Amino acid sequence: MSGENNLSVLLHHACPEHHPGKYVFSTLDSPSAELRELSVMTMHEEEGVTLILPQQIADQYEIGYEYVASWITLKIHSALAAVGLTAAFSRALAERGISCNVVAGYYHDHIFVAVGDAETAMKTLSSLG
């Protein structure tokens, strides 16, 4: 199933969804299989493995973090080769002073914003279409 490439369609049908809870970015040299399973996303980097975890899991396992985020998913199935979607929503958020950390999955784009910015980010993303 191919994703959408047309930027106008992507923006009009982005349908941002705010996941409940708080999420944190942590890094470990060699996280356990259990922690990998509990993470919502992982990224292998030269310096270590980045885990995006629910804050309560990081606290439970006493894993350090610096940034507490809200997680927003754009529900449209965007093509990995689509041009301009990330630029459009990151520019709109930046204009409102909101930083965003973006992870692209096969089907959707996932945006992490500071917890205090979630409501404004949702309004901003909803207005792009």
Sequence-ordered list of residues with C-beta below 8 angstroms from that of 57, at least 6 positions apart, any chain: 35, 38, 39, 63
| 6 pLDDT above the threshold of 80 | no
* Cα–Cα distance list, 111 to 23, 31, 103, 119 (Å): 11, 23, 7, 13
Tell me if 26 sits within 8 A of 50, measured CB to CB.
Answer: yes
The predicted pLDDT at position 5 comes to 81
| 1 pLDDT above the threshold of 70 | no
pLDDT: which is higher, 11 or 71: 71
Reduce the DSSP state of residue 94 to 3 states and report it: helix
| 127 pLDDT above the threshold of 70 | yes
| 52 pLDDT above the threshold of 90 | yes
Question: What is the pTM for the complete model shown?
Answer: 0.92
Following CA atoms 55, 36, 110, 118 in sequence, which dihedral angle do they give, to the nearest 10 degrees?
A: 0
The predicted pLDDT at position 7 comes to 77
Please state, as a whole number, how many other Cβ atoms lie within 10 Å of the Cβ of residue 58: 23
The predicted pLDDT at position 11 comes to 81
